[in-house]
């Protein structure tokens, strides 16, 4: 038996009503009315990992919040071999512009593992199926019931996908009812409808909730992160698209003018076989002023983002960049790569800075480290922009609108 609304709140299940101080009563009432219209639906999300990466960061609060509004929402995980995830990582890289061949042998591995997963999934009682990213994409070919809507959501930067791989994946995508992308600039020439849903954060999660100064200091101390000098940090998966080596280069140039400490924190998503190698490269480049941590501790992330003088996300490709949103929500001064979704969050010079090179990042870093007032001004505007545009309540409303458009016809 499901717990009551009061018990859910006590247990940490964040309800729509808790957003009222942030978004106002009228918005809460509007979203609740939309939820009532699709409350009888049963939804299934399918992804490739419960751990690490932006999809998990989105689906964890979204699926809980949908259930809290009374919409039965499942989240299924596909299983895969190392060879399979090697193939899907290549797909991820080629979708973001890398020119690599996806061989017939790799296609066989990819499609065979997805077929095996299809035999373990029972979705007949669902009213909508939402498949995330390329890993489970071919699932739709193994289900005959096409009366329910199947929606494919792509979370990566699709501004310049490698044409041969995109052509291969397109034959699966066009079997879906619609495709969903993070930004309109990622839209493609497809024979199915397209929707654009911008990601968002849960402001009440362990990673984003308010913290006292004492608690922040305690968590930094637990990981032996010094606070005697200004902190600069980047928090993201160990992925070459996040440009950790560019961050280190920029930090070393900035350090010539301002004494500071760099903290790089990341984790390896279970479906990303390249993460370990990237971590080794970063660790080999570190020195006494660079701290590298491979941990999964959302409270540490929270404490560090709230304590850092500068937060970077110097990506060279980025579908959206939830770590940018998280830092902005905490009023941090953020420097982001001038790419993808980061450009839709940071207005250069207004609520943060956009950069394209290590030299630019270093110059912005020095300017911020020398100017606490500027950091405070940028951070205040950054937090307000997240409140207005990038909270989970808005993402829930977007999905309610989308599900209403694709509701299964009543027979």
**Domain extents for the chain?**
5-200+391-405, 213-389
Residue 310's closest CA among 328, 333, 291? Answer: 333
The Cβ of residue 241 has, within 10 Å, a number of other Cβ atoms equal to 23
Tell me if 5-200+391-405 shares its fold with 213-389: yes
For residue 86, give the 3-state DSSP assignment: helix
Say what the pLDDT of residue 275 is. 77
Dihedral angle of Cα 336, 198, 65, 394, to the nearest 10 degrees: 100
* Per-chain mean pLDDT for the chain: 92
| Averaged pLDDT for residues 216-230 | 95
Q: Which residues pair with 74 in a beta bridge?
A: 44
pLDDT at 410 over 60: no
Architecture in CATH of 5-200+391-405? 3-Layer(aba) Sandwich (3.40)
Q: Band of the pLDDT at 14, cuts 50, 70, 90? A: confident
Say what the pLDDT of residue 53 is. 73
Determine which helix (DSSP H) or strand (DSSP E) holds 46, and give its type and residue range.
Answer: strand 42-47
Q: Which fold has domain 213-389?
A: Rossmann fold (3.40.50)
| Averaged pLDDT for residues 215-224 | 95
């Amino acid at each position: 038996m499901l717990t009551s609304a009061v018990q859910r709140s006590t247990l940490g299940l964040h309800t729509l009503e808790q957003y009222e101080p942030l978004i106002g009563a009228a918005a809460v009432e509007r979203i609740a009315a939309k939820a009532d219209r699709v409350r009888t639906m049963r939804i299934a999300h399918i992804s490739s990992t419960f751990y690490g990466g932006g999809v998990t960061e989105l689906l964890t609060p979204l699926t809980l919040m949908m259930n809290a509004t009374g919409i039965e929402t499942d989240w299924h995980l596909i299983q895969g071999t190392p060879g399979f995830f090697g193939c899907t990582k290549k797909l991820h890289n080629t979708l973001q512009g890398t020119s690599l061949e996806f061989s017939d042998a790799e296609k066989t591995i990819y499609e065979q593992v997805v077929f095996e997963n299809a035999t373990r999934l029972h979705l007949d009682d669902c009213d909508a199926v939402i498949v995330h990213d390329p890993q489970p994409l071919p699932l739709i070919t193994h289900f005959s019931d096409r009366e329910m809507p199947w929606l494919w959501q792509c979370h990566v930067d699709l501004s310049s996908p490698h044409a041969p791989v995109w052509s291969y994946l397109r034959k699966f995508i066009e079997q879906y009812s619609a495709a969903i992308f993070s930004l309109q600039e990622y839209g493609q020439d497809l024979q199915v409808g397209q929707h654009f849903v911008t990601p968002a954060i849960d402001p009440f999660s362990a990673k984003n909730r308010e913290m006292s100064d004492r608690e922040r200091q305690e968590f930094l101390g637990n990981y032996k992160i010094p606070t005697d000098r200004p902190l600069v940090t980047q928090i993201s998966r160990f992925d070459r698209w996040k440009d950790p080596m560019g961050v280190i280069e920029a930090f070393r140039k900035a350090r010539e003018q301002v004494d500071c400490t760099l903290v790089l924190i990341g984790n390896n998503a279970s479906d990303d076989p390249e993460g370990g190698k990237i971590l080794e490269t970063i660790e080999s480049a570190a020195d006494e002023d660079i701290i590298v941590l491979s941990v999964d501790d959302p409270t540490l992330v929270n404490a560090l983002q709230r304590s850092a003088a500068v937060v970077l996300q110097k990506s060279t490709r980025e579908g959206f960049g939830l770590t940018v949103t998280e830092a902005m929500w905490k009023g941090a001064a953020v420097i982001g790569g001038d790419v993808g979704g980061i450009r839709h969050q940071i207005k250069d010079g207004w609520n943060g800075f956009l950069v394209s090179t290590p030299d630019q990042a270093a110059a912005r870093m020095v300017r911020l480290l020398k100017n606490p007032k500027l950091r405070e001004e940028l951070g205040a505007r950054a937090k307000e922009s997240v409140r207005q545009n990038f909270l989970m309540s808005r993402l829930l409303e977007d999905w309610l609108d989308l599900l209403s458009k694709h509701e299964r016809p009543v027979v």
